Amino acid sequence: MPDTISLRPAVPHDIPQILAFIQGLAEYEKLAHACVATEESLRQTLFGPRPFAEVIIADWNGEPAGFALFFHNYSTFRARPGIYLEDLYVDPSLRGRGIGKALLKELAGLAVQRGCARLEWSVLDWNSPAIEFYESLGAEPQEEWTIFRLTDESLHRFTASSTPANAPIP
């Protein structure tokens, strides 16, 4: 029997596996200390009344092998939606078998089907295997952009600051 890759949308039953994939990704990216996701938080944000993201599960010979977690963003210049790939992860023992490529191809197909202008994602600058893989697919790094982020304490501090929203910018 030949090896097979199958892709499917995640369902609530997959939450423990999704969390295990997220934790595996956090370890690989040397960010396990920052991973605070729980089964309950995933249940609420992926399958609750207002889902914020979608997940595709990749199975290798019927066993979970990896996942892609994504959501829609929007291009004002193109006045069209896009898909942002937040996480792509394949079990280390199954890498090199086309699973990651199959997940990306599925997302690209969804982007086309949904009328999206683009599919984009970020990659850590030290992750040369991923960068080489993405470039081999024809993806181009967007080096003219710098990502900024407010999180946790800085997000709350900014929200609670006494500076009015219409104050002059220095």
Active-site annotation, residues: 134
In the chain, the amino acid numbered 141 is P
Cβ–Cβ under 8 Å, residues 85 and 68 = yes
Residue whose C-alpha is closest to residue 54's, from 16, 92, 110 = 110
CA distance 66 to 81: 25
Cβ–Cβ under 8 Å, residues 67 and 89 = yes
| 53: number of Cβ within 10 Å | 15
Residue whose C-alpha is closest to residue 63's, from 99, 32, 29, 102 = 99
